[in-house]
Amino acid sequence: MSSNVTAVSYGPTLTLPDMQRLRGVLTAAGANVLAENRTGDSRFEVYTADCGLESGAAAEVTELRQASAGAVEGVDTAIVPASLREARRKFLIMDVDSTLIQQEVIELLAAYAGKREEVTAVTEAAMRGELDFAQSLHARVAVLAGLKADVVDAVRGEVKLSDGAAELVAAFKAAGHVVAVVSGGFNQILQPIAEGLGLDYWIANELEIVDGALTGKVLGDVIDRAAKEKYLREWAAAEGIPMEHTIAVGDGANDLDMLGAAGIGVAFNAKPAVRAAADAVVSMPYLDAVRHIAGV
C-alpha cells in the first residue's frame, strides 16, 4: 500500500510516549503507518507519519482527522493528502491581521481616535461571524474620520510579523512556490510588508485620504470572505496551480470561504468556529508550523 496521506503532529514538546500514542490512534483508525520522522527546534517539535488508507477517500480522511484531534494534549495533528505535500509547485495564501502579523490594524488606528475598546468589540464579533464583515468594516473605519494621515505611518511602526512568518515565506519562496496574502485590512499598512517579504500577490482595502486626513471611508469594494476565496482561485489559476495544491491560513470568520476552497485550510490561533471548520489547526504562536504541514 502506498502512502496517500501524511499525519503531521506538532506541539511544544513531543515525547516518545506521545508519538506512540499518535501512532496507535492512526492505526486504530485504519491507517497503515509506512514511515515516520521526527524534527523540530527549540520552539516546537514535529512528528510526521506517512500513512496508507484503504482508498484515501474523503470520508476516510475525515475519520482520521477526527480520530487524531486531541489525541495528545497540547499537540495538534494535520492529515494532509500526499499529493499536496509532494506537489512540485504549491500556492500559499494567508490572511494578514492576527495571522501574518500579530495585531489587528484597525484597532491600532482606532486607538488614535480614542475608540480602541469600542472597535475591538466590533472586530471580535465580526471575526466570530456574528456581524457582516463589510458592514462592520465601514462602521469601524468611520470612527477614524478626521485623523491625520500620518497616524498610518505611526501604526505601521507598531506592526510586528507573527513569529515564524518571515521564515515561512522564505521557505516557500526558496522552494519555488507562490505566496500571497489577502486582507480585510489596509493597503497603506500592507504594501511595505508585502514588498519586504517579496510576496507574489497581495491585496487589501484602501483607506480614503483627502487633504492629509482620513475620511472614515474605504475606496472600492471591501475585501470580505467572498473576495478572499475569489482571489485565491484567480491567483492560483494564473500560476497554473490546481486548487488541490493550495494552502490557506487564517483566523477569522471572513477566512472561512478561502479555507474551505483550498487544498488544505489551516486555522491559525483561530476563533472556535474557524477551528471547527478548518482541515488543520495550529494552536502555537509559530506561523512556520505551516511549512511542516505543507511539506516545505
Residues serving a catalytic function are 95, 97
Cell of 32: 497503515
Q: How far apart are CA 115 and CA 140, in angstroms?
A: 9
Question: What Rg, from alpha-carbon coordinates, does the chain have?
Answer: 20
Q: How far apart are CA 187 and CA 185, in angstroms?
A: 7
What is the DSSP-derived secondary structure letter of residue 162? Answer: P
Q: How far apart are CA 259 and CA 267, in angstroms?
A: 8
Burial (0-12, 13-18, 19+ Cβ within 10 Å), 40: middle
The string over 151-183, giving b where at least 16 C-beta atoms fall within 10 Å of a residue's C-beta and e elsewhere, is bbeebbeebebbbbbeebbebbbeeebbbbbbb
Q: How far apart are CA 291 and CA 164, in angstroms?
A: 10
Cell of 250: 487564517
Sheet holding 76-81, edge to edge: 32-40, 45-52, 5-11, 76-81
